[in-house]
Structure 1
Amino acid sequence: MKKRSRIIHRFGVALAAFALCGLTATQASATPSTQIWIPSTDVQAYKTFHLGFDTYIRANSNDDGSRTAPVVVIGPTVGVLPFQKIQAELGFDVISGGGDLDKYPLYFHGKVGTPEDSLFKFSPAVAVGGYNFGTKSGDARNGELATNQNLVYGLVAKTIPVVGRLSAGYFTGNKKVLLNESGGSDENGVLLSWDRTMTEISDKLWLAVDYQGSDSALGALSFGASWAFAKNVSVILGYDIYNEKKTGGENTVTLQLDINFP
């Protein structure tokens, strides 16, 4: 199971960084409880306040020799439903990447979900939600600045003994903002992941691999590891490989600090 099963939640940020390359400035991402990059079926516990602080640093220089500035993301996520079988969370992030999008740094997200075995015996976890609800509307196809990616998604997940947890889902977003390398709309795609707490080594070690489809700035294959330094503090080190360099930019190394209160 993911770290959340032992009360060390992972509520970081899955973001497509502010790479000013290709056809349009790629977007930041204000996200719900995640794996490394994509949303997960985990939901923040009621009245639990999570603070995430994430950085995304380009692993390589751009083709012209320049280097895109790192992206820094900080924001809270809070559990808002007092039920065991139906849970919900809300949150926002402030994102800075050193570009024009910094004028509109606020992004919102939310999620409703049910844990495994809550609907019926052996039922999968189910979650529906939305993220990257930015505050600047526009049509990126016409070169306008915009942050309202407005993604909505659905996910199911099931833990298989020894193997770990497998998740699958689908997302759709704003066709005016999520574009491919040719400038056309590419707002839909699959969500896939595997994650597992490596109890054979330590209950503090968690590994994950996830994938988000589409050739927009959000499309990426990511993998990483987390170590829990305390019952409420964990750090993830990951690597993001973008599906399309012209929209996603150079690959990124991500460091994600997660703290839960209480």
Structure 2
Amino acid sequence: MELNGVSAVVSGGASGLGEAVVRDLAAKGAKVVIADLNEAKGKALADEVGGVFVQTDVTDEGQVQAAVQAAVDTGAPLRVVVNSAGIGWATRTVGKGNVPHPLDSFEKVVQINLIGTFNLMRLGAAAMGATEPADADGARGVVINTASVAALEGQTGQLAYSASKGAIVAMTLPAARDLSAIGVRVNTICPGIIDTPIYGEGEAAEAFKAKLYAPVPFPKRMGKASEFSHLAIALIENDYMNGETVRFDGGIRFQPK
């Protein structure tokens, strides 16, 4: 998929993995819509890269449709959707004192991570389907979803998170098969331990991060958001990559805890 002169929507695009993707897409000549809840960061980044910010709760159909429409309104054909909005959660199914996992927190994680991903994928793909084909193959667009290695090897307390991310993996192939009818590809990335601003800064933060990446075989460090984006762009640009789930984790295999 040629990225110069197209439009794209990136959920969670104001920071972390999404921000890295926004920057790389813009550098390739795409007009990027940053769909995020953080207005201050989103607007600042949009101004910096010549994109558009739309405040977006990915679980809200109207707000997601507005983000997709903003991409269409740029006048450049919508060709790319990257789902990187999500939240984490850690609670055991039954915790100390025989207390069950709160139902509302489980529902919230699934609502944002899974249903939010599906929401943008379906609306974005529908808009792609309304465009003219980009090449002789009939390609109209690409969706990149973000899951996690926790989808495959969830640790203790990751029930809600693993369920939401595992379902994203599970829907990759059927979504790719469904959307092949309109020339839209779907691939999913499963990141491992990635260095994002969520861990904070300073000596204590660095010590905590060192414990996290200790089990990574090589390279012995956390992944970089720029490396995640490099992979996402490669999956978008390689026209024969479709229906795939790709681990991005330095070879780590999570233990129970």
TM-score by length of 1: 0.37
Higher helix share: 2
TM-score by length of 2: 0.37
User: Which is greater in Rg?
Assistant: 2
Higher strand share: 1
